Amino acid sequence: MSAHPADAAIPHTVEPHPVTGLPNGKFGIWLFLASEVMLFGALFSSYVLIRTQAPHWPPEGGLSSEILNVPLATLNTAVLITSSITMVLAWASCKLGRIDRFRLWMGSTIALSFVFLIIKYFEYTDKFHHEHFPKTNNFYAIYFTLTGLHGLHVIGGIVVNTFLLTIGTRLWKIDRDHFTNRVENAGLYWHFVDLVWIFLFPSLYLL
Amino acid sequence: MAETADHSSPEAFKKHLGQYYVVFVALLCLTAVTVGVSYLHLQRPIAIAVALVIATVKAALVAGVFMHLISEKKVIYAVLILTAAFFLLVLLLPSLTIFEGVAV
């Protein structure tokens, strides 16, 4: 390990911690993801409760798939899945010592994240245009809360990934393994965001 | 090396890359299947079961391969088992309190 000043302040950025067998960052991100499961889990539980108690779902009649835009959401699912593989390839490029490829794949991941948000923007504005807001009924309250919180997570991922692609890349020159671990941790978070959408998509749009 | 063992040589690691592409294609196919099934308008309990099974398989692929959960340290499994237990509790808690009111 190189003598980078940060190593003195934050131990086990590369070497596994003797207790966990993992670098601290990776263990930390998994604990964070565990808390995220509870955050989305509580909202998902509320959704199940509200829906099972409702005489009709959606309250205005019809089917969720007729009210929400399934083709756009399907496209967004494909976009997010693609961004997951570009993310894992960005990390793999670091492992293989190819920072040029890392830039390509990480840039693609960020671009796809924006595509996801743009599609979401069109979905939202269409709903607003038809006077459908979170306050309209429980269906829209749940839809906007869950997809909105997920969207905020996408924005969070863009911030972290953009950092890694720009000024964060400086660490590559100082400590490659440390940088690679950071990319892996950002990847774990990003795959989790994909994973949440994998459940949101069928439960909100298709069922 | 800090990470889990299975990519010590570049050759072994490149073999890993193939897996990512396979999972990627599988995820896209499963997305198509879940959307396709929704157009069949199956009975609600069956539709819910099919959609959740497909989503769980997709989630397992993402977590297992992209997040390397297949070959992870024990401490992470322990954290996730604990999380899964509390997640189920959160999911079931409302049903336990108002069980009589839930329309099955």
Looking at the structure, do residues B62 and B85 belong to the same domain, yes or no? no
Structure ipTM: 0.90
Query: In angstroms, what is the C-alpha Rg of chain A?
Result: 20
Domain interval for residue A42: 19-206
- Which residue bears the tokens 């999972």? B23
Looking at the structure, do residues B40 and B83 belong to the same domain, yes or no? no
Query: Is A166 a member of any domain?
Result: yes
pLDDT reading at A31 higher than 80: yes
pLDDT band at B11 (very low <50, low <70, confident <90, very high): confident
Asked if omega into A55 is within 30° of 0 (cis), the reply is: no
Closest CA to A145 of A57, A66, A204, A59: A204
pLDDT reading at B34 higher than 60: yes
Q: What is the pLDDT of residues A63-102, one digit of tens each?
A: 999 999 999 999 999 999 999 999 999 999 999 999 999 9
> What is the residue-averaged pLDDT of chain B?
86
What's the structural domain count of chain A? 1
- Cβ proximity of A71 and B14 under 8 Å: no
Q: Compute CA A34 distance to the chain's CA centroid, rounded to the nearest angstrom.
A: 14
Looking at the structure, do residues B46 and B12 belong to the same domain, yes or no? yes
Chain B partners of A26 at a C-beta cutoff of 8 Å?
2
> What is the residue-averaged pLDDT of chain A?
93
Query: Is B2 a member of any domain?
Result: no
DSSP calls for A118-180: HHHHHHHHHHHHTT--TTT-HHHHHHHHHHHHHHHHHHHHHHHHHHHHTGGGHHHHH-HHHHH
Domain interval for residue B78: 73-104
Q: What is the pLDDT of residues B52-66, one digit of tens each?
A: 999 999 999 999 999
Structure tokens at A176: 């490659």
Q: Tell me whether residues A92 and B82 touch, CB distance under 8 A.
A: no
- Cβ proximity of A83 and A190 under 8 Å: yes
Chain A partners of B76 at a C-beta cutoff of 8 Å?
22, 27, 30
A20 — contact with chain B (CB < 8 Å)? yes
Looking at the structure, do residues B20 and B54 belong to the same domain, yes or no? yes
Looking at the structure, do residues B48 and B21 belong to the same domain, yes or no? yes
Secondary structure of residue A202 in the 3-state scheme: helix
What's the structural domain count of chain B? 2
CATH of the domain at A40: 1.20.120.80
Looking at the structure, do residues B38 and B67 belong to the same domain, yes or no? yes
Query: Is A116 a member of any domain?
Result: yes
Exposure on the CB side of residue B12, measured as CA atoms within 13 A: 5
Is A119 exposed, middle or buried, given 0-12, 13-18 or 19+ CB atoms closer than 10 A? middle
- Cβ proximity of B21 and A85 under 8 Å: yes
Query: Is A82 a member of any domain?
Result: yes
Looking at the structure, do residues B51 and B15 belong to the same domain, yes or no? yes
B55 — contact with chain A (CB < 8 Å)? yes
Chain B partners of A88 at a C-beta cutoff of 8 Å?
20, 66
Looking at the structure, do residues B12 and B63 belong to the same domain, yes or no? yes
Q: What is the pLDDT of residues A104-128, one digit of tens each?
A: 999 999 999 999 999 999 999 999 9
Q: What is the pLDDT of residues A46-64, one digit of tens each?
A: 999 899 889 999 998 889 9
Query: Is A135 a member of any domain?
Result: yes
Looking at the structure, do residues B66 and B28 belong to the same domain, yes or no? yes
Structure tokens at B72: 């992870």
Looking at the structure, do residues B93 and B53 belong to the same domain, yes or no? no
pLDDT reading at B8 higher than 70: no
Query: Is A134 a member of any domain?
Result: yes
- The whole-number average pLDDT for the span A129-151 is 96
Looking at the structure, do residues B66 and B30 belong to the same domain, yes or no? yes
B-chain residue closest to A22, CA distance:
B2
Q: Which amino acid is at A95?
A: K
